[in-house]
Amino acid sequence: MMLTGSQIFVEVLAEQGVDTIFGYPGGAVLNLYDELYKNSDRIRHILTAHEQGAAHAADGYARATGRTGVVLATSGPGATNLVTGIATAYMDSVPMVAFTGNVATSLLGRDSFQEAYIEGVTMPITKHNYTVRRVEDLADTMRAAFRIAQSGRKGPVLVDIPKDVTANSCDFTPKPPEPVRTVTRYDEESVLKAAEMINAAKRPLVCFGGGVRSAAGCQPLRDLLAKAEIPATYTLMAAGVLAYGEPLNLGLLGMHGCYTTNKAVDEADLVIAVGTRFSDRVALKPETFARNAKLIQIDIDPSEMGKNVPIDLALIGDATYILQAILPHVAPAKHPEWMAQIREWQKKDYKPTDSDTVLKPHQMIDEICRQAGPDAVYVTDVGQHQMWAAQYLHHTKSRGFLTSGGLGTMGFGYGASIGAQIGLGPDARVIMLTGDGSFHMNLNEGCTAVSYDLPIITVIFNNQVLGMVRQWQTSFYGKRYSNTDPHRRTDFARVAEGFGAKGYHCETPAEFKAALADALTQKGPCWIDCRIGKDEKVLPMIPGGGDIADIIME
């Protein structure tokens, strides 16, 4: 059948199972938006306040649901406004397809109005990208984009569509979605070797990252831990894969991980790394990381093997299938001496002080978990509040903690919260934790949350400074606080009311408890402005380039 490029665009989206996209209209994509209007019963479009918010929303949708997030923007500044969101998804291996409009093919390369070479701009931050120059290529290019986004190591793909391509016509033939490709490059010998190393270990430790969450399932990891009594630690991207309070869950690893996890890595005789790339926030000093251990690395991306730390055995593929292959060859085991040593180390872990009169971050997070319950989904921006969330949230869901890990994008949280709420539905409880610095970046998306009646609760850890940078200035720069006190007078509660949301202002634990309880009864978005001390620190901390010997506990 003969269809225009815009009709093909909608048909392929539907063919790929897309029912929601996020975006912002403009001249180069008017044909696409006209067709979306005609098909609003098939595909829901969420209009954000800014294209960056739309990109983060598509990202949050993908992280919360496991489905591919889709974002649409116009040419020029619309396209370039997606860049930070695309890079955020790329660093954290999030499946997303970004569609951008562009000037007509006859105007490309002529510095036309609102023209940008977005394919070249995004080449380093996408798995693949395309400029579609013929309407006959549009359908198959879109199909390839969705397949690539979900295959192997997941990530974003960009498709740039000139305006004349959306207006031209060609014959269109529907096709079912192509199967996602599974990467498997390990052999039976490697599987047996891994099991042999696990069976021989006296002090084994599993270190897992976001690749476990992206894999086909988390259960084989849990089965391995239980069968061989192996304690586990995780990176920021994997918080929630193991439930809070599980005996074998030691907690967060790395720069702001606890003393026990970092000490266990230092003393282990075998480290099984699953779906983690050993970033500089985990292996802060690569030459001493796991210095006493043999190291098995399991990852879907062959380029990550031994990239940051030396390894003894590599198994390339989906972590779920590799662990399923290893499990039958692992002997049931107990490690009482190793577990006893770990319990002794846990007595030395940092414990923050409580207060009945002033707001303390760890107590606020305890209260949030108590009131919101185990099914809540938590989204963060980037900074001190992000680390406090990773340390103290009572994680119970593998997709219940959404944060920007690799790129560390301030302003990520509100857009991602919107995407998560849309993806999970109105009955889901989405709570966004942010700092006043991060929130100022993209709080304009408050109007989006109001427009769609999204019951997102935003808790603002407001210390009126750029807290994480200030903490570094305190510890390493002689308390020279260069530009980390912005002297802002923003009244977030009143700003919330101006958007049409409900706002609260809290300075004591009692006020926060009451505000949160009330917010949980509201049908729309709420902002809770919580005043915390500007000298609150994220502890413990291992300075960049250090190891367990350099840990700061107070």
Q: Which residues are catalytic?
A: 51, 113-114, 163, 468
Distance CA 274, CA 154 (A): 16
Integer angstrom CA distances of residue 253 from 276, 319, 339, 547? 12, 20, 17, 11
Integer angstrom CA distances of residue 474 from 258, 463, 468, 482? 21, 15, 10, 11
Distance CA 113, CA 317 (A): 45
CB neighbour class for 24 (10 Å; exposed up to 12, middle 13-18, buried from 19):
buried
3-state class (DSSP) for residue 501: coil
Enclosing H/E stretch for 3: strand 2-4
Q: Give residues with Cβ within 8 angstroms of 484, minimum separation 6.
A: 465, 466, 469, 470, 473
Distance CA 90, CA 154 (A): 8
Which neighbouring-strand residues pair with 274?
A: 208, 298
- Taking the CB of residue 87, how many other CB atoms lie within 10 A of it? 20
DSSP string, 387-405: HHHHHH-----TTSEE---
The residue type at 91: M
Which neighbouring-strand residues pair with 161?
A: 101
Q: Give residues with Cβ within 8 angstroms of 187, minimum separation 6.
A: none
**Where are any strands of DSSP class E within 80-166?**
96-102, 128-131, 156-162
Distance CA 335, CA 35 (A): 62
Enclosing H/E stretch for 221: helix 219-228
- CA 335 to chain CA centroid, Å, is 34
DSSP string, 322-347: HHHHHGGGSPP---HHHHHHHHHHHT
Q: Give residues with Cβ within 8 angstroms of 243, minimum separation 6.
A: 249, 395, 396
Question: In the numeric block, which tokens belong to residue 363?
Answer: 């107590």
